[in-house]
Structure 1
Amino acid sequence: MADVQGTIFPAEDFDAEVDAETLYEAMKGWGTDEDPIIDVLANRSNEQRLEIREKFKQMYGERLIDRLKSELKGDFEEVVVALLTPPAEYLARCIKGAMKGMGTDEQALIEIMCTKDNQEMEELKSTYAEVFDGDSLEDDIEGETSGHFKRLLVSLCNAGREEGDENDVDEGLAEEDATEIYDAGEGQRGTDESKFNSVLALRSFPHLRVMFDKYLELSGNSIDNMIDEECDGAIKDGYMAIVYCVRNIPGFFAKRINDACKGIGTDDSTLIRCVVSRSEIDLQQVKEVFETRYGRPLSEAIKDECGGDYKNMLLAIVKDASVNPFPDFDAEEDAKILRKAMKGFGTDEDAIIEILCHRSNDQRQEIDTMFKQAYGKDLIDELKSELGGNFEKAILAMMQKPAVYDATCLRKAMKGAGTDEATLIEIMCTRKNDELTAIKEAYNAEFDRDLEEDLKSETSGHFERLLVSMCQANRDESYEVDEEEAESDAQELFDAGEGKFGTDESTFNMILALRNFNQLRAIFRAYERIAGTDILDSIKGECTGSLEDGYLTIAKGAMDTPALFAERLYKSMKGLGTDDKTLIRIVVTRSEIDMEYIKAKYEEMYEKPLADAIADDCGGDYKKCLISLLG
């Protein structure tokens, strides 16, 4: 896969001594300050962490890992220790743990053994022997597994997979392999797993991709379905893991993480292993596949499944947001810096940007309160008096609580002559139930008005009914998919649109406003099968104006939320002039949610970094502010 990348990179201006001292101070005295530990370890490469580990021992005469183990506990301790261990050693220890005691964790063995190339496998074997006093990885696997599953793992352990790219694939050999696999499985009674092993464990990934296509042509069945029908247990899981990795390695790890978070309880060891081990390889792509496939950002899954410092550490590694809570936060000190920046003649805009663009919204609220307590003045009023133009608008947007800011944007969109339907659509059609509820409450508190009543008075027809439906905040927010219901809904949408003269918008409203995003994607797939066209083209053909824009926003949001906001950002800067209101609103509101996804999607879609686009369209302190929010 081209351009794979992790979420952790070597820190610039790295100083192992300073970091070692920071960690020591965090564990000194009574209690432990976990925030600096998270800030240092989640923002240094593994190589840099190992330097910190050595420096800590030199400076304080004790092993950093031992000290951390004595201070931390539970899953947070496990992830911290994982971060401070060399990658090959960490995976070697995971394998040993998977084979230790009663029972064997076959899934962990599969995940590690089936995803390594030859060089990684050789390093893993030598590290295993080094860490465990000469133990042989192959011997341990033979002692803890059996049958064809054992033979598959031993084959992988031998690190004999052919290596090459697409240009090295022999089409004739791929066809022969496909025939042999067919004859060993579907083409006979019973299954000859030895033939599966020899092909799946030894052929190069490009060769296997071609072979899978040849198999489909030959048998009319996909390789996945055949394995599912012919095999069971750990050997099936092993073969399937290889197939997933051949097709898309980030997709395999996205599935592993989803499985770890699914059902009752969380498989924390798997979650930690996948996040940590991929953090410097392809975690950015894993995140993108995860959101596309499972309908929620990886960060949201982590927030739902984990808690406390463990959650905060994983979120710091995953890095969905471009603005995160500042680790060494001191509201009093920040208030003092802002006061100094606005005191006397002139204003130090750089200091304002440095503080406010690197604090979370909750932290900005604390600064606001502290400023009033310390100086008897309202921080927002002071900022208004010192700043101007779009820079002022961006800073004031950052200083409002998210729900209050959205409520304010909605009020402005409906106030005065004309209505800004695009703003109404962007906010009402992209917010979650709890966010919409908070917006309604903030709207009433700030303006002593009812949001639903104002929407009714400022819009009309089916567009009004769509916004009122969204205002109810009744969308199903589960992640469950009912394929039969999806087929039924798709048929209803077809019958309400392309399948009749005119359009029954009430059916579109009901389905688009109420179904969960995973379900909507299933509906859209079924719709394309029924109608022979995708849902976006159908909406464009059946609807016009604001209603069309509203439906498209919901559909695009369900398909790929970061792509929706990337498109909105692109349009805000396209052509003559800049739609600064939209640009500010999206950068500010998504900075603590999914801006890293949006940035990646923007560059993928428009072949230009978002920061460069903003630099071309904006200027001065306004430009600096927005780019700082991008991270």
Structure 2
Amino acid sequence: MADVHNMMAQVCLTGDELCDGATVKPFVDFVVEEDAAALQKALETKGLDEHTIIDILTKRSNAQRQDIAFAFEKKTKRNLEEILDYALSDHLRSVILALMKTPAKYDAGEIKGAVKGLGTNEDTLIEILCSRTNKQIQDMSKAYQELYKKDMIKDIRDDTSQNFRELLTALAQGSRSEPSNVVDNELIDSDARELYAAGEKKAKPDVGKWITIMTKRSIPHLQRVFGRYKSYSSCDMIESIKHGVKADLRTTFLGLVQCIQNKPEFFNDKLCQSTIKRSVLSRIMVSRSEIDLQYIKKEFKKKTGQTLHQYLTVSTKGDYQRVVLALCGGDD
């Protein structure tokens, strides 16, 4: 099942493609002019009609939200994002503005936030760069250049160091092989042997070899490689990384391998962290709602015994709760 989930995530990105794992899908009876007018009325209502704003924007696909923003500006001569930024408060503002950005611009903004200022938010870099497809990374890089007039890869390199930098840089290239119908059993065996030889058979792992294989090969190929790896080692790939790699580099490799093996499980584990930040929760709910949040919900229920809907009902409140529950979909 993990193979199916990951293949769906490869071909089903965002926009109006219909994803089996999506909780937010294109609104069938979409009339952009009506939505633009309803949002204008909600924003001009005394006291602000947050419920209408939330109900419209969480029940439209990202592509439909872009159409709404265009129609709104054409109708009012005002920028919808700027008005929402001014009108909304606190956490509601951040999640609604995230919904209004294209996926590429949203990810670019998250990367920028992770590398600017003092310190680096390694967890954000790892989450985004390990989980996005080639196209998503390439679109994100273009958006980064457009928004900040800087090269995303250079900013990542300047803010990180040593092997951690090399791994993130390789991921940020977005240049791994695309899935193929051809199964190269000889290369699968060769890659598995090379990963084993570069890791467990050395006192100090040959990280460069791991980086090359894990960032250049296609996802289905690597899933087979990791299965083959166990015929050479008494440990699986996850255990080998835990034993042989330290600090941020270990966290990145673990995230990468988990994303390759079962991406919904990777995001579920982040949701299950006892101290999950609201910004991380928002990013997962927004970025995965049109891709594989339905699969993430299944992993969550399997691991915790409760539905994600139940968890969000208890752990969030107010208008923010209304947004994340809408993105979550039903209580299943």
What TM-score do you get using the length of structure 2 for normalisation? 0.94
Match of 1:490 in 2: 192
Verify: 1:409 aligned to 2:107, yes or no.
Answer: no
**Contact (CA 8 Å) 2:297, 2:307: kept in 1 or not?**
yes
The answer to whether the 8 A contact 1:481-1:518 is kept is: no
Could you tell me which of 521, 525, 547 is aligned with 2:223? 521
Aligned to 2:54: 353
Q: Gaps spanning 5+ residues in structure 1: where?
A: 1-288, 304-310
**CA distance in 2: counterparts of 1:487 and 1:294, whole angstroms:** 24
The residue number in structure 2 matching 1:504 is 206
> What does 1:127-206 correspond to in 2, within 5 Å?
none
2:291 and 2:176 map into 1 onto residues whose CA distance is 20
The one-letter amino acid of 2:317's match is G
Kindly state the Cα deviation for residue 325 of structure 1 after the two structures are TM-superposed.
Answer: 0.8
Give the Å deviation of 1:481: 2.9
The aligned counterpart of 2:20 is 319
Contact 1:481 1:522 (C-alpha < 8 Å) held by counterparts: no
Cα deviation for residue 294 of structure 1 reads 8.2
Tell me whether 1:611 sits opposite 2:309 in the alignment: yes
Distance 1:382 1:584 in 2: 20
Answering whether residue 300 of structure 2 is matched by residue 602 of structure 1, we say: yes
Alignment of 1:572-587 (within 5 A): 574-575=274-275, 578-587=276-285
Distance between the aligned counterparts of 2:29 and 2:5, measured in 1?
34
Q: Which amino acid aligns with 1:615?
A: T
- Mean alpha-carbon deviation: is it higher for 486-495 or for 406-415? 486-495
| 8 Å contact kept, 1:299–1:320 | no
Give the distance between the partners of 1:521 and 1:628, measured in 2 at CA: 33
Q: In structure 2, what is the Cα distance between the partners aligned to 1:299 and 1:425?
A: 18
Query: What is the 5 A alignment of 1:449-598?
Result: 449-479=150-180, 480-571=182-273, 574-575=274-275, 578-598=276-296
- The aligned length equals 326
What SS does the corresponding residue of 2:7 show, helix, strand or coil? coil
Structure with greater contact order relative to length (CA < 8 Å, sep ≥ 6) = 2
Q: 1: CA distance between counterparts of 2:229 and 2:263?
A: 20
- Counterpart of 2:84 in structure 1 is 383
Report the CA distance between 1:390 and its aligned residue.
1.2
For the Cα contact (< 8 Å) 1:487–1:526, is it kept in 2?
yes
CA distance in 1, matches of 2:225, 2:106: 33
Report the TM-score when normalising by structure 1. 0.50
4+ long deviations beyond 6 Å = none
Distance 2:160 2:310 in 1: 37
Q: 126, 130, 139: which one pairs with 1:438?
A: 139
Kept in 2: contact 1:569–1:583 (CA 8 A):
yes
1:296 matched to which residue of 2? 7
| Distance in 2 separating the partners of 1:570 and 1:390 | 20
> How far apart are 1:293 and its partner, in Å?
5.6
Amino acid in the other structure paired with 2:292: D
- Unaligned ranges ≥5, structure 2: none
Spell out, residue by residue over 1:284-340, the C-alpha distance to the aligned partner (whole angstroms, 9 max, x if none): xxxxx3x43685129948x9xxxxxxx97xx4xx73211111111111111111111
Question: Could you say which residue in structure 1 is the equivalent of 2:98?
Answer: 397
Describe the shift of the 1:299–1:462 C-alpha distance in structure 2 as closer, same or farther (beyond 3 A): closer
Q: CA deviation at 1:483?
A: 2.2
Shift of 1:524: 1.0
Q: Within 2, Cα distance between the matches of 1:333 and 1:600?
A: 35
Residue 129 of structure 2 corresponds to residue 428 of structure 1: yes
Contact 2:9 2:292 in 1 (8 A): no
Distance in 1, Cα, partners of 2:253 & 2:277: 22
Aligned to 1:271: none
The residue number in structure 2 matching 1:338 is: 39
SS across alignment from 2:232: helix
* Match in the other structure for 2:320: 622
Q: Distance in 2 between matches of 1:374 and 1:295?
A: 41
| Contact 2:156–2:169, Cα closer than 8 Å, also in 1 | yes
Please tell me the residue identity of whatever aligns with 1:623.
Q
Larger CA deviation: 612-621 vs 358-367: 612-621
Q: Structure 2: how far apart are the matches of 1:624 and 1:405?
A: 21
Change (3 A) 1:458 1:299: closer
Aligned equivalents of 1:411 and 1:434: distance in 2? 19
What is the percentage of aligned positions where both structures have the same residue? 34
What SS does the corresponding residue of 1:531 show, helix, strand or coil? Answer: coil
| CA displacement 1:512-569 (0-9 Å, x = unmatched) | 1011111111111121121111110110111112211111111111111111111112
Contact 2:5 2:264 in 1 (8 A): no
1:324 is paired with a residue whose SS is coil
In the TM superposition, what are the counterparts of 1:18-417 in structure 2 within 5 Å?
289=1, 291-292=2-3, 295-297=6-8, 300=11, 315=18, 319-417=20-118
Q: What is the letter of the counterpart of residue 579 of structure 1? A: K
- Change in 2 beyond 3 A, CA 1:500/1:322: same
TM-aligned CA deviation for residue 485 of structure 1: 1.5
